[in-house]
Chain A
Amino acid sequence: MIELFLKYEFMRNALIAAVLAGVTCGIIGTYVVIKRIVFLSGGIPHATFGGIGLGYLLGINPILTAIPFSVLSAFTIGAIHKKAKVNEDTAIGIVWAVGMALGVIFIGLSHTPASDLIGYLFGDIQTVQGSTLFMMLILDIIILISVFLFHREFLIVAFDEEFSTVVGVPSKSMYFLLLGLIALGVVVLIKAVGIILVIALLTIPATISRKFTSDIKKLMFISTFAGVTLTIIGLWLSYLFDLASGATIVLVLGIAFVIFSFLSR
């Protein structure tokens, strides 16, 4: 297994991508699971499809256009929810569909062959380029620094939003910041498992880890470890049996979830 990763550059890149994705799983996934915003973490990547389409239309790296699009989608969901007093899940549904629709239009206009899109929809960790890795690294660093600085606020807001306001947490700003970080995390994960499967990486490692600890720091570490390990196993199996990498990673996550559910009963 180790030789395989050392031998080919694309496998080395994939390995680095798996580690970077794992960090996002651990940190962002933990917030997604404890704040119960799983639907949100499914909606943002789908809406981000608009950004991927825009990248093709403009002829630049779609991951680059995915970043502002993802963040904007997250903020729009937050704004619809907070300002228009619409339920969060309704807001997510709206943005989810509109973002995807934009993506379809942009891609139609850019005459992109459908085969190019499969990688973004279902992930293609084995084709990650150095420039994309660099962007993933930057996004991970932004996530880590933000969480280091604002973990107290995020925790109070996630636990009890009203109380957070009462004790003086700028809860609205923190809610939007958290949404923004989830959006960045989504972009990190798109290359690994694709838009449709991001939700698996954001939920499964953190859910497995919860069975081992009820300490949030440990939860983040264990989730990161679980995310990295399971992604690498998936990557390795997909190479071995020549299967789609994103889907194999998700299946490995799913199987791990089932195993740990039975073990901890």
Chain B
Amino acid sequence: MGREIVSLKDLYVYFNNTVSLGDINLSIKQNTILGIIGPNGGGKTTLLRVILGLIKPDKGEIRVFGKTPEEGRKFIGYLPQYTIFDHSFPLNVFEVVLMGRYRGIFKDYSKEDKAAVINALKTVSMLEFKDRQIGRLSGGQLQRVFIARAIVREPKLLLLDEPTASIDPEMQSAFYDMLLKLKEKMAVVLITHDVGAVSVYVDEIACLNRRLFYHGPKEEGLEKIEEMYRCPIDLISHGVPHRVLRGH
């Protein structure tokens, strides 16, 4: 396990006077894939947004690369769960990914930036579409472009919010193999409902339903979750267990 790059201590986030995240203690380590599982509405996306500094915690402490999230987020690549945009927006695939290399006001994109875009598009097997207008892609292709936009920064931490949701089944194993390669250079946090993938590719899991029910190596975690909730783990994300989880 690598050294700690993100730490959350006794963190609380309230939304409309209800607890969205409570008593969160979590650390993210270098060269590790952390899978976050939990029911919908359990605060998984909120947690990523706190790490990015898009939501300010009401209580507790968060350090991202030893800094505040606003300062630390320049080392983060982010794939949101949904990206809402106008599908006729005048941008092509290359230009969208290039935005991931933004470095600051008055700083034009350099040759290295453009080379990095080509590389990132190769990594997600989307290079042949580089001149395609962004709205003229399938959901899965779009998702890969946004993954490229997240990794093109060469981040030290990659936050992926349900990345496999719109990726074709046959692309999924290629996607996870890509994560294993990326892991050599960065930490990856992966929100997923795909427990099968968690058991194969992920190093650590965190089980989140407003509170953190487990965080640690996956082997123990998977057993513990099953034990704790007395239901098969692949149900965690669906209907019934919402109630099961809330009971604790």
Query: Residues on A close to B: CB < 8 A?
Result: 34, 36, 149-150, 152-153, 155-156, 158-160, 162-170, 210, 213-216, 219
Contact = CB atoms under 8 A, between A and B. Distances in A.
Given A150-B105, A166-B78, A167-B153, A159 B89 contact: yes
Most buried by B among A165, A166, A210, A213: A166
B99 A162 contact: no
A159 B99 contact: yes
Contacts of A163: 78, 80, 83, 99, 149
A214 B91 contact: yes
B96 interface: yes
B228 interface: no
Contacts of B193: none
Given A156-B102, A163-B83, A168 B73 contact: yes
Interface of B: 52, 54, 73-74, 76, 78, 80, 83, 85-86, 88-92, 96, 99-100, 102-106, 108-109, 133, 149, 153
Given A168-B104, A170-B105, A156 B99 contact: yes
Contacts of A165: 54
B102 A152 contact: yes
Given A34-B90, A159-B96, A162-B80, 10 more contacts: A149-B105, A152-B109, A155-B99, A158-B89, A159-B89, A163-B83, A164-B102, A167-B100, A210-B88, A214-B90
Given A159-B96, A160-B83, A219 B73 contact: no
Contacts of A152: 102, 108-109
A259 B86 CA distance: 24
Contacts of A210: 88, 90
B91 A155 contact: yes
A257 to B, nearest CB: 16
A159 B135 CA distance: 12
Contact of B92 (A34, A155, A169, A214): A214
A156 B105 CA distance: 12
A166 B48 CA distance: 12
Which of B73, B90, B99 counts the most A-chain CB atoms under 10 A from its CB? B90
A16 to B, nearest CB: 29
Chain B at the A interface: mostly helix, strand, loop or mixed? loop
B102 A36 contact: no
A215 B95 CA distance: 10
Nearest to A156: B99
Nearest to B159: A166
Contact of B86 (A36, A162, A166, A219): A36
Interface centre among B52, B86, B92, B105 (most CB of A within 10 A): B105
A44 to B, nearest CB: 21
A204 to B, nearest CB: 16
B143 to A, nearest CB: 14
Contacts of A149: 105-106
Contacts of A164: 99, 102
Nearest to A219: B90
Contacts of B80: 162-163
A158 B85 CA distance: 9
Contacts of B153: 167
Contacts of A36: 86
A68 to B, nearest CB: 26
A213 B100 contact: no
Given A163-B99, A166-B52, A166-B54, A214 B133 contact: yes
Contacts of A167: 74, 99-100, 102, 153
B102 A159 contact: no
B227 to A, nearest CB: 38
Contacts of B89: 34, 158-159
A162 B153 CA distance: 16
A214 B108 CA distance: 21
A70 to B, nearest CB: 25
A219 B83 CA distance: 24
Nearest to B102: A167
B102 A169 contact: yes
Contact of A168 (B90, B102, B109): B102
Nearest to A174: B105
Contacts of A219: 90
List 9 A-B pairs, minimum CB-CB distance, nearest first: A167-B102, A214-B90, A214-B133, A216-B90, A156-B99, A166-B78, A219-B90, A168-B74, A166-B52
A12 B86 CA distance: 40
A59 to B, nearest CB: 41
B105 A153 contact: yes
Nearest to A169: B102
Contact of B54 (A150, A158, A162, A170): A162
Contacts of A213: 90
